[in-house]
Amino acid sequence: MQTTEQLPPAIQPDHRYEALLKVTGKLKYVAEFTGPFAKKDLLYAFVVQATIPSGTILSMDTHATERAPGVAAVLTPFNAPKLPAVTPQPPATRRLSLLQDKQVFYNGEPIALVVATTLDQARYAASLLKIRYAPTPAKLNFLDRLAEARPPKRGGKAAAEQSRGELSPSLAQATVTVDETYITPIQTHNPMEPHATIAWWNDDKLTVYDTTQYITGDKQSIAKALNLPLDSVHVICPFVGGGFGSKGSMWSHVPLAAMASKLTQKPVKLVLDRPQMFGPVGARPSTVNHIVLSASADGKLQAIQHDEIDHASVMEDFAEHATNPSRILYQSAANRTSLSMVDMNLGVATFMRAPGESPGTAVLEIAMDELAEKLHIDPVQLRLINHADRDPSEDKPWSSKHLKECYTQAADRFGWSKRQAPGTRLEGNDYIGVGMATATYPANRSAAAAIVRVNPDGTAYVASGTQDLGTGMVTLLAQTAARFLGLDIHQITAKCGDSTFPKAPVSGGSQSAASVCPAVEDAAKQAQLKLTQLAINDAQSPLHGISSTDIALRGGKIVQRSNPSVGEPLAALLTRNGNQPIEATGSAEPGEDKTSMSTHSFGAVFAEVAVDKDTHMVKVRRVVATYDIGTLMNEKTGINQMHGGIVWSVGTALHEDTVVDNTTGRIVNSNLAEYHVPINADIGTVDVTVLNIPDTKFNTLGARGIGEIGNTGTAAAIANAIYNATGKRVRSYPITPDKLMSA
């Protein structure tokens, strides 16, 4: 396998590829497009949602709605075209609400669509729709119904129960045991850009602008839902204003927009309101976690037991897998994890940034802190004692692991050695506390492809059917192509966001850069081979007859590797040889690491908080973190990703909680005024570094994904810091003043 020493030096661009467009307001998102049609032809759709959590629709009186100004169509379960009963494409199977029956499964479920000339007209007409229901008893009150928990109907990425070693004997041998229950709430995605779709037809061909994290999957799902040939669907996603998992797979509004466009024979735009983001497009499920940690007096873990209960929609199971970290983070003599579900009349849950590992580290790392206190061992030392040199869940070697260095570096920068006993450090009216936790997330790769074209003027073009969620994917495409073509990044035109481009995986699971960039590397090398052969065969080229192994691309030229003064500009070579571009398609897919080793990223997170002794308000004063993520491909976009994850985790620790009315099933805080997320005033100093040690066993670039690891560990570090400040242990997120008052 190629090593990093053999690669051209990495390129660090001055700024994001699309930065100028963003800061000048010229970059367009889905809802801002009109497509290749006159704006006057565009219609607007508004989704009508159920107002009961369970039951049947008896009737819909559409008389007033249909006669309201500007209304072009009203789709209901009583008149909607019949569709095939299909399951959408992975990464998530899903029972969609496409007006095919009259059942209601949750409050907020799409049950009709009103289409009009303007959005205001559609919204007003929707308010005139008269609906009669036959309600049935709803399954709500998650925490009161834990006794009803059942095995998952679909296990997903891990079995419902996993074990290694003998749990009972290991528990019996332990000197100290922590046996507690930890709760994480429903969390709802709130990207700045809500879900949006524009659909229009050209005969039997459907084009869709859609906010999606998976262009290829979106195309496949739309085709299946509408019973269309795959080649009849074209999906375009210019840029995404945040997705975080909610846009990872298709939801009901996408085919509904296409159905409305087919019916009206006009393009239809459908943009969800902020309250409509709560329910119809997923959320992170609530989890209840019973964790038992048993250790000998020297701190060695004898047993880890983690039993997780998730809430599940009556429509479909979605497993959060918060037990993932409990299986792999620490070595122990015995380990058992289980997963079960409680049915709820709520919308289907889905992926949210760092699914599994985010809530999993949030609860496990509190339990580890409690164990350290009982053992009178420093929390960092306890983790070092139980460091897993191999993946304990599968007994495999790690492709690369430098977690111990993360602990050491972050602890030194943070000043961990100055930590004081709980409740003893008072500054003015604030109790000050510090805490730490381990961060982890799997390193994933999938098959990907890319195209590279070197133009006759010496510039180049690179494209892949991936998507940019604000993570800097277009920048990585450009800098990778520039690196392997020997060009300045400003000479690269980079494109993504179109299903006609070579296929790439979903932008989820922290895999896009690790999957797509090696494909770009391969395409660029294939283009280099073609250019090399062109030069060797060209009698007028200074490189004519030179060995191909002694030819390289540097500074916009093709040169002799051993004597770079011999060569010529790429433009001169191509102009002389027909003035045609050189094009190559490259691909990459997981190698032996997929089965022979475990690939994870790791980190150490330290937090300092101030807790007002009267109000119990918590302020996160600083977070210091060091991560082992392999090669950091782009410093600006990479550190930005981890900053964002840490900020999100402040929300997990202190703010985010989707509140369900246990009588009506309605989400009562379905707006950003009441669904609290961190703002600038909530964030203190964030100090992030990476070890930048390449993992060349994982891929040729040595880079693992980083989009999600920043969202792991930090919540527990804050929770542990709050305990250190106050001496009060809260085991239910978010940690709000009322919980501290009653602790």
Output b/e per residue, 434-464; b: 16+ Cβ within 10 A. bbbbbbbbbbbbbebbbbbbbbbebbbbbbb
Nearest residue to 324 (alpha-carbon basis) of 334, 335, 311, 337: 337
Question: Hey, which bits of 416-521 come out as E strands?
Answer: 426-427, 430-442, 448-454, 460-463, 492-495
Output the 3-class SS for 370-427.
HHHHHHCCCHHHHHHHCECCEECCCCEEECCCCHHHHHHHHHHHHCHHHCCCCCCCEE
Residue 238's Cα: distance from chain center in Å? 18
Nearest residue to 438 (alpha-carbon basis) of 413, 414, 388, 403: 403
How far is it between the farthest Cα atoms of the chain? 85
Q: Return the residue matching tokens 């920043």.
A: 710
Phi and psi torsions of 592, nearest 5°: -65, -25
**Within a 13 Å sphere around the CA of 631, how many CA atoms are in the beta-carbon half?**
25
d(CA 460, CA 453): 5
161 carries an active-site annotation: no
Axis crossing angle, helix 357-375 with helix 635-654, rounded to the nearest 10: 70
293, containing H or E segment: strand 287-295
Set 320, 365, 521, 708: catalytic member: 708
Nearest residue to 269 (alpha-carbon basis) of 194, 355, 344: 194
Phi and psi torsions of 430, nearest 5°: -115, 135
Axis crossing angle, helix 512-537 with helix 473-485, rounded to the nearest 10: 30
Distances (CA, A) of 388 to 17, 116, 330, 396: 39, 60, 5, 11
Nearest residue to 98 (alpha-carbon basis) of 322, 251, 274: 251
Cβ neighbors of 318 (< 8 A, separation 6 or more) are 92, 156, 282, 285, 310, 312, 348, 349, 350
DSSP annotation of 286 reads P
Structure tokens at 556: 């916009």
**Within a 13 Å sphere around the CA of 6, how many CA atoms are in the beta-carbon half?**
8
DSSP annotation of 43 reads E
164, containing H or E segment: strand 161-164
Q: What residues are labeled active site?
A: 708
